[in-house]
Each structure stands twice: as C-alpha cells, then as structure tokens.
Structure 1
Amino acid sequence: MDRRTAISRVAMILGSTIIGADLFISGCTNEHPAQVQALLTDAQVSYLNEVGETILPKTAASDGAKAANVGAFMKIMVRDCYSPEDRQIFFDGLDALEQRCKKTLGKGFLSSSLEERQKLLITLDAEVKDGKKRNDLLQQKEAERQKSSQAGGKPNYLKKTPPTPYFAMIKQLTLLGYFTSEIGYKSIGYVSVPGRYDGNVTKS
C-alpha cells in the first residue's frame, strides 16, 4: 500500500487527521538537529511494539503489529516527521502511559496481561474521544460567537488548537506503520475498518 493510500485509510479509521502526514507522503525529509537522530532507544521500540500488539494483535488470519515492527516505524516517524512540540508530547506520553498503568494496575505495562493492557488502552482511547468531542463543541461555540459578534471585533479565544493526546499519536502510528508494512499489506483483506475501538482492530 502506498503512503498516500495508507494515510487516507488510517484517517478514515480514526476519523482524524494524521500528524506528520504531509512529510510522511513526501518521504519524511524534515530537517532535524543531530541530537534527535536516535530519539527512541531499543527498549522503547520494544515497548511500543507491545503497545501496538495490544491495539493490533496477531490472529489466526494474520500477524499483528509486533511482527510488523511498528515500534521501529514510530522511531522514524517521530524523528523525521514530527515537530519538536509533537515529539515532546510523544516522549512525555511514554512515561505517562507507564505511570498510568502502574497507578491503575499496580504494575508496569510489560508486566500486565493482555486483558489488562486492553482494558487500559480502551480507557485511554475513550478519554481521547471524549476530549475531542469537548474540543469540537468549544470550537463550534466559538465559531458561532465569532459569527454573531463579527462587527464588534472581539478576539477569537480558541485560536490555538489543543495538541494531539499522546495515545492518539501512538494509535495513529501503530495503524500507519502496520498498513505500510509488508505484513500489513498481506493481511489487508483480513483487517476490517472498526466502527469503535474494542482494544484492537478486529481482524476476522
């Protein structure tokens, strides 16, 4: 699957725009300083493979995100296609995910069972969706306020769009990395577009 098609497919699945999409399509040629050459460690790549596998697990019909090595894909995307601000959100998010897991389950993500991991990610995904709904409502109200008071020259209080939550980034990159991999391409006939998030993208 080519990059543009993969972007469109993932955007359709998630119902949102993909961070770094333009740079990804053009080949991720974003310039970056030498200190960001190796942002993700091997341990973090392995960690993200486990998170990705929880989102897209292996089934009898096809391999999952771990086999596609989505963690390595995330390393390249975050390094080459993310802005410094988005990179910071992503890296802070790795710590936030681990701390959330320890607070909720009393242990780290890697020490948790598949069922425990899925429940945690379902909760995080629901929080992302709730936050998006609240922001969309605020944007709508602000647009209506601007329209009704346009002659008054009142400022737009919502000029800056809130940053994308870290879990939304991880989910985007998991799906994008999977669908642009050879494994993902081979399993494309088995992966359905889910209407809702159930801990993984259902593959039948």
Structure 2
Amino acid sequence: MTDFERMSGIDRREAIRRVSVLLGGVAFVGGSQLLTACAGDRPAATDSAQAGATGPAAIGEFSVADQQFLDEVADTILPSTAKSPGAKAAATGPFMALMVTDTYTPADQKIFREGMAKLEEACKAAHQTGFMQATPEQRTAVLTTLDQEQHAFQKTRKPDEPQHYFRMMKELALLGFFTSEIGYTKAMRYKETPGKYEPCLPYTKGETSWASHA
C-alpha cells in the first residue's frame, strides 16, 4: 500500500479544503467525485493490479513514464528541503494519475493529458530540451511561467469554462503531497492520537503548521 492509500477519507476532505484555500478558494476539478475517491482505499485502475508483484504499472491511460513525468512536475513544485523529502518521494505522480483516472470527467482528463504535452512543448521551446532532461532551474522557470499563465486565465475564466491544465496539476500535486505520510510527518508536525486535547498552542513565526490527526 502506498503512502497516499494509507490516509483516511476524512483527512483527505480536510486536505482538499485547506489546499483549496491555498489556491484561492476555488473548487477542485473532480468535485464530489474526488471526495468519493478519497473516502477509502481504492485499487489503481486497469492493469496496475499486479503492481505489487511486478513493480510499477500503468494507471488508466497513464504509463509508468507518464507517472514519472508527473512525479518530476510535482517535485519541481514541492522539492526536497533540509527538513522534508519532496513530492517525488511521496509518490505524488502515481497519485495524480489515479485521481485523474478515477475522478475527472472525460473532458477534464483530455485537458490534463493534453496539458502534459503542452508542458513538454513549452520546455522545449524555452530551453531546447524536454522536461525530463531539463535542469532543476529550467524546470522551475517553465512551471513558474505556466503558473503565471494559469493565474491570469483564472481572472477572466467564466464559471462554465474548464480549468487551466496547470491549475489541475498544481492542485493534485499539493493534495497528493500534503496527504501523504511524508507530507504529514515531515513537512508538517504530526502527533499521533489519542493524546491531550490542546485547543490553543503557542506559535513562533516560521514554524511549520500542525497536521490534523489521522
């Protein structure tokens, strides 16, 4: 069982709310389907059933290479620090592939998949190399530009318009990481229950936030 499969449904619902706030309070792509998928452990779709015995496998239409690509995208958004491993260590790429497969509509899945190709094209146009071959600095520059693009799109987006593909990627990267064991215990402070209830705790500026209990 992977890190993201260990987390309980209620924690994912709270994580969705918190990450939504970080992203400006906009509802996640996937909506109620995303909540349903987070309600409990679900097997990875299609031919991933043998993954535990044979190693990595495809998830829906996402090949192992696709998942590795998403891992690197997520790890560029949430890289390793002195205090915490990054998103790739938390298997965020497979999480993203699973959520798109299980919770996105066919139309949103198409936008996401086409967005992966657009991200690759943007990297080649800017740096004459593919994203997987790019340096960390080049990757950061490309994703920074795409983030600015999705922010500008968000300001003029109509309610019935689909989200920008990089918005989708950023949502799932944040959600996957901050609901993983690494995100909970390394990037945030975590204390196992049962324990003493503390309604108010001292906080020093610059400290990491407390994770909710599992």
Measured against the shorter chain, the TM-score band is 0.7 to 0.9
CA distance in 1, matches of 2:142, 2:37: 33
Match in the other structure for 1:147: none
- 1:14 lines up with 2:23 in the alignment: yes
Match in the other structure for 2:175: 176
- 1:38 lines up with 2:52 in the alignment: no
Aligned partner of 2:30: which letter?
G
Q: 1:22 to 1:105 in 2, by over 3 A?
A: same
- 1:65 lines up with 2:87 in the alignment: yes
Aligned partner of 2:34: which letter?
F
Match in the other structure for 2:153: 131
Q: Per-residue displacement from partner, 1:12-57 (whole Å, max 9, x unpaired)?
A: 111121111422222369xxx9799621000010111001000000
Superposition TM-score, scaled by structure 1 size: 0.75
Identity of aligned residues (%): 43
Match in the other structure for 2:166: 167
**Secondary structure of 1:110's aligned partner:** helix
Q: Per-residue displacement from partner, 1:42-87 (whole Å, max 9, x unpaired)?
A: 0010111001000000000011100011111011101110000000
Q: Per-residue displacement from partner, 1:136-170 (whole Å, max 9, x unpaired)?
A: xxx6xxxxxxxxxxxxxxxxxxxx62111111111
Aligned partner of 1:8: which letter?
R
Aligned partner of 1:45: which letter?
Q
- 1:110 lines up with 2:132 in the alignment: yes
Runs of 4+ with deviation above 4 angstroms: 33-37
Superposition TM-score, scaled by structure 2 size: 0.72
Gaps of 5+ in 2: 1-6, 40-44, 48-57, 190-206, 210-214
RMSD between superposed Cα atoms in Å? 2.4
Match in the other structure for 1:24: 34
Match in the other structure for 1:199: none
Q: Per-residue displacement from partner, 1:114-144 (whole Å, max 9, x unpaired)?
A: 1111111111000111111123xxx6xxxxx
1:46-61 equivalences under 5 Å are 46-61=68-83
- 1:87 lines up with 2:109 in the alignment: yes
CA distance in 2, matches of 1:169, 1:183: 22
Q: 1:28 to 1:59 in 2, by over 3 A?
A: closer
Gaps of 5+ in 1: 140-159, 193-204
Number of residue pairs matched by the alignment = 167
- Whether the 8 Å CA contact 1:65–1:178 is kept in 2: the answer is yes
CA distance in 1, matches of 2:140, 2:66: 19
Match in the other structure for 1:154: none
CA distance in 2, matches of 1:94, 1:191: 31
Instruction: Using the TM superposition, give the Cα deviation of residue 9 of structure 1 relative to its aligned residue in structure 2, in angstroms.
Output: 1.0
Match in the other structure for 1:188: 188
Aligned partner of 2:19: which letter?
V
- Whether the 8 Å CA contact 1:28–1:81 is kept in 2: the answer is no
